[in-house]
Structure 1
């Protein structure tokens, strides 16, 4: 993401996940529970379902160039495998699977759906392909990051695969190959704080049911093939800080309801087919706005005088439109 204030969002999300109960076992505690790494005969493997599920996942990996999973073997307890963390209160139950940026190739196996204590799953920046399997048993899942892979399939099937993950706060599936229309049921993920579906091949319109996600702070839908108007309901998650819809085929006016989001720091609607005049109060209500990108649209009329009241504004792009009149 090219926006400076979003640069550490993944770290922030993981820190929040830790605050909400993701527990990482200290090495000494692991040794007490499971024995030393070299003591194969003394290992107590705890929950075998979680262990088998991880081994099934490993078997589906067709390329591991850095040997990231070399210690996933019978000589080591699975809670000490690279990228794996387990619960203290429920020994052997996997709570975190952290395998980002390892150049892994393969498919995400349905066996991960058996890790029913999993709170965080991070597979970003790998080469996972195929469809997202059903993860509906992961009712404790709070953090799911799958960006920069080559996942295929319909976005509606992906949301069905996560339908029971009602605790999800962070959902990141950007930079993949998903197709189809964003389903209205997206609004049922009512605990989402961060949602990134950008850089896929999504089509259709933006469903108004985003208004049901009242905790949503960051919404990224840019660089897809979305059409139609920007629904005014996007102005209803009143605490939103970033709204990025750039690089689609959106048309119609910039809805005045967006000016009700006084918490907005970033608004990027550039590279669409938006037309008409800007809401006259756009600068008077968005007093915390720092990034405003409206370039490469079909916007017209006068640049609102009140835009000058947006005193926090650092980056402003109104280029390649049809604005007239004087700049004040």
Structure 2
């Protein structure tokens, strides 16, 4: 055998060894091809009305330049971001997305995706941002999306979908990277899972679901929380005292649940709180007297619709950042404290309690609150006369609700200075005197409710200047005179109630030529005379019409048959004559008709037999 030099053998061996560069190139090409194929989820998109994905396809090696696709700079160039939010895309999410193992950001929010979230999306340990909010996704949340200590997921946003089932028990178990979880406005059920080593979570929102059970005390371990929003669910039990261990909590919303017991006192000492909403629960106890000092940063305090008792703390005047105060629908008593030092105050909602007022000093103090837009005191025990200082309230005031109290005296003429009012409600009091003509200055008014008082005199014609007026309630007073034709200028009027007064004269035709009165018109229990005008047939959208217990005469207008949406017609106890119009057979929506105690003659039209009353 011939002697082969050693150097030759070494050269042959080196030639036979695999080329590392070739291996790296092949692996890179393979990984890149996997990413490109993973992007084939485009096939699941059934509609792309904006044509935003027209760049997808063509040269496979250029997928990193497709719209919404971002690849890393290092070789191999893997897909690291897929951002296709707000593009009106329709379709389902493909499991192939799970093969994008280097993906760090996935944003498909605000589209029209439906179907379930693929389990395979939990494969990517690199994913740090997942947004599929505001779609129509169904089914459950894949347990693999988060929960492992190796997961990089920082933000999970699945809000405004149709997701159901329970929140995965692993979600808060050991996800140390999680900073934001937003699951609001879905159909999730079951309990909120316990919290483990979740050391970075700052934002938790599960509002508007159907979650039940109690709030896990372990939430107190999440000391990093800044926003904890659990409102509008079916949570029960008490508020855990462990919340005291979240030292920098800013916003806490537990409203619209079934929580009971007393509010833990330490909660009122969390000085970082800006927003505290515990309304619409079954909470009892009193609001601490020092709350204005212990919560110095508070901007919004909502405790409405609970079982709270006691006084409204006077210390609230020291909560200098307070903008919204809602203590309505509780059992609070005593006087309303002066809040005039709260320069940022925008809403004061204290209705449906047992509050009293004698000198109305609190109202005078509110004149210093120049940003006030809503003042609600209805359903209390306020008495005495309204002071003229009411006119000095913020000109930006939009809502003033004083109904169902024991307020006496007259309505101040100065009420007309509140020119931005959209709702003025003083019903069910002891008010007397006339309706001031200055109400005609309230050009932005939509609701004017002065019913169930002792008001007298005529309806001021200036009311017709309120072209935006939608609802006018003056019933159950002692008003007299005729109905002003100027009401026809209230083109937006959809509901009118002038019943139970002493009004006389004719029904003005203008009332039927401008407003739609779609929700109804009630002028019953007055002394109105004359004929009911044929123009009443112009109210083609009206649902309820009551002209009973007056002195109307003449025939029933056949034009009433044009009121196709009319469901209730009351004309009893008048002096109407003649036959029942055959046109009544076209009242296909009618449910109730009363024509009794008139002077009608003739037979009941056969056309009425077709009505489903």
Same fold by TM (over 0.5)? yes
The answer to whether 1:312 aligns with 2:312 is no
The answer to whether 1:321 aligns with 2:321 is no
Residue 281 of structure 2 aligns to a residue whose secondary structure is: coil
RMSD: 3.0
Residue 240 of structure 1 aligns to a residue whose secondary structure is: coil
Residue 135 of structure 1 aligns to a residue whose secondary structure is: helix
Instruction: Choose the corresponding residue for 1:288, options 468, 477, 485.
Output: 468
Q: How many Å apart are 1:67 and its aligned residue?
A: 2.4
The count of corresponding residues between Structure 1 and Structure 2 is 274
Aligned partners of 2:433 and 2:456 also within 8 Å: yes
The verdict on how the C-alpha distance between 1:171 and 1:35 changes in structure 2, with shifts beyond 3 A counting, is: closer
The answer to whether 1:67 aligns with 2:265 is no
Show the counterpart of 1:57.
none
The verdict on how the C-alpha distance between 1:240 and 1:34 changes in structure 2, with shifts beyond 3 A counting, is: closer
The verdict on how the C-alpha distance between 1:264 and 1:192 changes in structure 2, with shifts beyond 3 A counting, is: same
Q: Which has the larger radius of gyration?
A: 2
Show the counterpart of 1:83.
253
Show the counterpart of 1:259.
440
Instruction: Choose the corresponding residue for 1:171, options 339, 344, 348.
Output: 348
The normalised TM-score by structure 1 is 0.76
Show the counterpart of 2:179.
28
Give, in whole Å, the separation in 1 of the partners of 2:219 and 2:446.
Answer: 54
Superposed, which structure 2 residues align to 1:154-303 within 5 Å? 154-155=335-336, 158=337, 160=338, 162-181=339-358, 182-183=360-361, 184-212=364-392, 213-283=394-464, 285-303=465-483
Q: How many Å apart are 1:92 and its aligned residue?
A: 6.9
Superposed, which structure 2 residues align to 1:52-131 within 5 Å? 66-70=236-240, 72-73=242-243, 76-77=246-247, 79=249, 83=253, 93-113=272-292, 114-131=294-311
Give, in whole Å, the separation in 2 of the partners of 1:42 and 1:269.
Answer: 52
Q: How many Å apart are 1:72 and its aligned residue?
A: 3.5
Residue 204 of structure 1 aligns to a residue whose secondary structure is: strand
For structure 1, the 5+ residue unaligned runs are 1-25, 47-64, 85-90
The normalised TM-score by structure 2 is 0.42
Give, in whole Å, the separation in 1 of the partners of 2:403 and 2:507.
Answer: 29
The verdict on how the C-alpha distance between 1:125 and 1:326 changes in structure 2, with shifts beyond 3 A counting, is: same
Query: Greater RCO between the two (CA within 8 Å, min separation 6)?
Result: 1
Aligned partners of 2:220 and 2:243 also within 8 Å: no
Residue 481 of structure 2 aligns to a residue whose secondary structure is: strand
Q: How many Å apart are 1:74 and its aligned residue?
A: 5.3
Give, in whole Å, the separation in 1 of the partners of 2:350 and 2:368.
Answer: 17
For structure 2, the 5+ residue unaligned runs are 1-156, 158-177, 181-197, 205-216, 227-234, 255-269, 509-613
Give, in whole Å, the separation in 2 of the partners of 1:124 and 1:39.
Answer: 25
Q: How many Å apart are 1:96 and its aligned residue?
A: 0.5
Aligned partners of 2:251 and 2:273 also within 8 Å: no
The answer to whether 1:135 aligns with 2:337 is no
Give, in whole Å, the separation in 2 of the partners of 1:215 and 1:245.
Answer: 19
After superposition, the C-alpha distances for 1:194-222 in whole angstroms (9 at most, x for unaligned) are: 00000000001112222222110000000
Residue 354 of structure 2 aligns to a residue whose secondary structure is: coil
Give, in whole Å, the separation in 2 of the partners of 1:268 and 1:295.
Answer: 9
Give, in whole Å, the separation in 2 of the partners of 1:40 and 1:311.
Answer: 56
The verdict on how the C-alpha distance between 1:319 and 1:35 changes in structure 2, with shifts beyond 3 A counting, is: closer
